Amino acid sequence: MPYRAPVAELRFVLDHVVGFDRVAATETFAEATPETVDAILTEAGRMCTDVLAPLNREGDLHPAHLENGVVRTSPGFGDGFRAIADGGWIGMSADPEHGGMGLPITLTMAVNEMIGSGCLALQLNPLMTQGQIEALEAHASPALQDLYIPKLISGEWCGTMNLTEPQAGSDVGALRTKAEDNGDGTYAITGQKIYISWGDSDFAENICHLVLARLPDGAPGTRGISLFMVPKRLPDEAGNPGVANTLKVVSLEHKLGLHGSPTAVMQYDGATGWLVGEPHKGMAAMFTMMNNARLGVGVQGLSVAEAAMQHAVAYALDRKQGKTALGDAGTGSILDHADVRRMALDMKVDVFAARSIAMDCAVALDMAKATGDAAWQARGAFLTPIAKAFGTDTGIKVANDGVQMHGGMGFVEETGAAQYLRDVRVTAIYEGTNGIQAMDLVGRKLMDGGAAAFAILDDLSGTNHEGLDAAIAALRDLTEWLVAQDMQDRFAGAVPYLAAFARVLGAAYHLRAAEADTSRAPVARVATARLLPEAMAEMAKARSGAEALYAVSSDVIAA
């Protein structure tokens, strides 16, 4: 089934669920008028439906590959990327000083969702570039900004993020890549990085790598790490790609999914790089990029969930099998069967919830930028790990249920249902696993004593829905309890706490939607009657603490 960009649904969420009008009312984002929003969503939706969606299967069947040291991308990906770049979609939220549109990050996330639904393997490329632009805007010298940002925005050059090393994994502080001062304002970067999304391509003039490395006087751990811009080709005096830098793609990973996205092992052999930000402050600079990417990855999970849902529901409506209680009043398809309908409605409920959480988070970030209000910043920071984890968990669950709805045909590659599950599975792993997101939520994000969490719960309270109000109250009590626990007990309950928070948020968003449009009330009832009760079970898990986990020895676990 061809993908159809959910333009009207996105507009509904912005207008009636997350209060985007507050963003448009600020001086910073005054140009984000209703007419502008409509034009952006409509044009981007058309591109994603007509240009990008046909590429999704091509990337899976004809993966990117390494040929004599050159990465060859999937058929049509170069044209697809050019459509994204020429439309201005890469630099939507970038500073107009360097050629960006200066639009709210909320609109960028809305467009990114549709691009990811169209072709997630390709969407990874501009997502990495967008994060790099933000990091350079916040931390790079004016000279680096003037050279790199305009070309990143235009799509002439593409950006990557180089953190992970074979021996380090999520422990970034254990990196071994080193940087040595060349004495001329540049540094020699030596080391190996793995899992580098879009580490190279055959359609960009230059690939700009942001690389974490340690200077000789850098302290151990993350405190001694610096960040460097290391381009594939060294810019000449005119700012054009010149001679090749001493770096290369060693190999491409053979992955479960996302075959059209080349994931590279990168080798740097005294490669020339430029310091971004202050020495030994690289993690602060990289986190600017990573926080952008974490929300973006949550949106990627949502992207696949939307596409997989459309695919599965279309199949269910077409598949005729068996008799149901609806009889002649139904569609005559398997969608009339109670269990198939359960799966379809679970999909619909969670896709809406994931979209609303992501857009709410983006609105908070935009309001923080526009107003400088610390409360908005705290709200955005608190919602980011929830948006990332719930968005990607939803993508995996919806894609998995999509395979189930197809029955045996879901296990057959020709139907395309399995690709969604294979492609989305990694989103719960990269940019910080979902477990790390949950630990961040109960750790760093509760360092304020729960103030940000309580502010969000205050905003949700008073729904006059008995079940939701009870869940909100229970979540407040749980938050107070977690704040009083030691960190190990918090971590043991982190994942269920995040899941419970997402369930409560989702139910509240559905009720707002039903108030704005009564035709949405039946779906809201599914959200509150069938899925909201899961929040109470998750909260019970979150209170169980760490003792039971560590009472079982490693020998018993491995037996």
The residues, any chain, with a CB within 8 Å of residue 542's CB and separated by 6 or more, are: 478, 482, 493, 494, 496, 497, 500
Tokens of 476: 């407040």
**DSSP β-bridge partners for residue 241:** 235
Cβ-based neighbour number of residue 166 at 10 Å? 11
Give me the pLDDT at residue 168, please: 76
Q: Is 183 left (phi over 0), alpha (psi -120 to 50) or beta?
A: left
Does residue 116 lie in a domain region? no
In the residue annotation, 431 being an active-site residue is answered as yes
**DSSP β-bridge partners for residue 276:** 227
Place of tokens 């299967």: 57
Secondary-structure percent of the chain, ordered helix, strand, coil, rounded to 5? 60, 15, 25
Does residue 267 lie in a domain region? no
Q: Give Cα separations from 411 to 322, 402, 404, 414 (angstroms).
A: 21, 10, 9, 9
Tokens of 153: 């925005």
Q: Exactly one of 306, 431, 534, 538 is catalytic; which is it?
A: 431
What is the CATH number for 351? Answer: 1.20.140.10
Q: Are 532 and 499 in contact (CB under 8 A)?
A: no
Does residue 349 lie in a domain region? yes
How would you write the pLDDT of the chain (559 residues) with one tens digit per residue?
589 999 999 999 999 999 999 999 999 999 999 999 999 999 999 999 999 999 999 999 999 999 998 999 999 999 999 999 999 999 999 999 999 999 999 999 999 999 999 999 999 999 999 999 999 999 999 999 999 999 999 999 999 999 899 887 667 778 899 999 999 999 999 999 999 999 999 999 999 999 999 999 999 888 889 999 999 999 999 999 999 999 999 999 999 999 999 999 999 999 999 999 999 999 888 777 777 789 999 999 999 999 999 999 999 999 998 887 777 778 889 999 999 999 999 999 999 999 999 999 999 999 999 999 999 999 999 999 999 999 999 999 999 999 999 999 999 999 999 999 999 999 999 989 999 999 999 999 999 999 999 999 999 988 999 999 999 999 999 999 999 999 999 999 999 999 999 999 999 999 999 999 999 999 999 999 999 999 999 999 999 999 999 999 999 999 9
pTM of the model: 0.96
Give me the pLDDT at residue 285, please: 82
What's the number of domains the chain is made of?
1
CA pair distance 242, 233, nearest whole angstrom: 6
Q: Are 313 and 268 in contact (CB under 8 A)?
A: no
Q: Are 449 and 378 in contact (CB under 8 A)?
A: no
Quote the domain boundaries for residue 378: 295-549
Classify burial at 43, counting beta carbons within 10 Å of its beta carbon; exposed 0-12, middle 13-18, buried 19 or more. middle
Does residue 477 lie in a domain region? yes
The continuous run of DSSP H or E covering 212 comes out as strand 206-214
Does residue 366 lie in a domain region? yes
**Helix (H, G, I), strand (E, B), or coil: what is residue 195?**
strand
**Helix (H, G, I), strand (E, B), or coil: what is residue 83?**
helix
Q: Which amino acid is at 552?
A: V
Does residue 468 lie in a domain region? yes
Tokens of 190: 């030596």
Does residue 179 lie in a domain region? no
Q: How many helices (H) and strands (E) does the chain have?
A: 21, 11
Does residue 262 lie in a domain region? no
Tokens of 71: 């990465």
